[in-house]
Structure 1
Amino acid sequence: MPLADVLRYGILAVLTGVLIWAACTDVMSLRIPNQAVIAVLCLYVVWLVLVLVLARGAGLWPALGAGVLSFVVGYILYLFRIMGAGDVKLFAAVALFAGLDHLLLLALATAISGGLVAVINMFVRPYLSQAMLALQGREMGRDVPYGVAIAIGGISVTWGAVMGFTITGG
């Protein structure tokens, strides 16, 4: 196996660990540590050097586009209190790995996972479901650990892209 592939898989393994840590922390405290976001960003810098130097591929501009677009959309969702600040930062950092080519897939995988997390959360914490109904959705998204959904979406999309899985079949 070429050195570039070994390094690529190693970086993704560490990214997976960081995302699992962020998800577990979010479940326990409903907060995503800034250290997790910084770790993802640092891993992306290593990934970028690997892609540009060893694999001779392009990736900076599509990745930055995905990160900026994700952050802007996420910030708007934050302003409407739909997403937390940690969720926005983590998703934007993971979007760097996805790039523009896989950004929609990342968003879809995260949204589907987020729906499942919300449903599970309703059963695990039924008192929150009653509170959300009483508030008529005004505080929607509160007390749901979306870091879990971002981790599931990020792990699925990054590993899927590296392994060559596509939804278009091409």
Structure 2
Amino acid sequence: MVDLHLTDLAIATLFIGLLCVAAGSDIADLRIPNRISVALAVLYPFHVVASTGDVDWQGALVVALLSFAVGALGFMGGFVGGGDVKLFAAVALWCGPAGIFDLIILTGVIGGLLGLVMVTRLRFVLAWSFQAVGATVVRNAFLRHVIPYGVAIAVAGFIVAGRPLMTFGR
């Protein structure tokens, strides 16, 4: 028999790990590989099956599809990157109808804070700080004039969907 608590732990670890990889990739070269968003989407059914509570997977699917459709319009208008759209839709799948508004608000707030950092001298202080500890990739991200929005999506996704995943066994 499979221990569902260990399964929950493995799924939560993979989910959070994939969010970290997405954020790191976006910081490094402003790209979020498709395989990360696909892996998040493929992992979701395992979460549904292993979950000890009721999961509104149909509602989550609708939320993800609507998020992708709205994001695609933003991409066509040049407002957002394609990787950001796919990552947001994959994270929206995990948040479902109950968490989508929190995800939208937190992504906006975190993205706004990143934007404020990027238009102030604080970005140079942070760039120097990361250079001092040898994190040149992060330093370079702060010296660019583009906001790696995948970071905001990943952090918001961790807060909205990741934290509840970490309550396994309770």
Same-fold status (TM-score > 0.5): yes
Whether the 8 Å contact between 1:12 and 1:158 is mirrored in structure 2 is no
Measured in 2, the distance between the counterparts of 1:121 and 1:3 equals 46
Aligned to 1:34: 34
**Letter paired with 2:27:** V
Deviations 1:88-137 (A, max 9, x none): 00000011110011100011111111111222233245673xxxxxxxxx
Q: Does 1:78 align with 2:75?
A: yes
Say which of 148, 154, 158 aligns to 1:155. Answer: 158
Whether the 8 Å contact between 1:109 and 1:153 is mirrored in structure 2 is yes
Aligned to 2:6: 6
Q: Which runs of 5+ in 1 are unaligned?
A: 129-142, 165-170
Whether the 8 Å contact between 2:23 and 2:151 is mirrored in structure 1 is yes
Whether the 8 Å contact between 2:16 and 2:162 is mirrored in structure 1 is no
Q: Which runs of 5+ in 2 are unaligned?
A: 125-141
Say which of 42, 64, 67 aligns to 1:67. Answer: 64
Aligned to 1:101: 98
**Letter paired with 1:118:** G
How many residues in Structure 1 have an aligned counterpart in Structure 2? 146
Aligned to 1:118: 115
Q: Does 1:23 align with 2:17?
A: no
Q: Secondary structure, in 3 states, of the residue corresponding to 2:31?
A: coil
Change (3 A) 1:59 1:127: closer
Whether the 8 Å contact between 1:71 and 1:92 is mirrored in structure 2 is yes
Change (3 A) 1:59 1:3: farther
TM-score normalised per structure 2: 0.77
Most deviating of 114-123 and 91-100 = 114-123
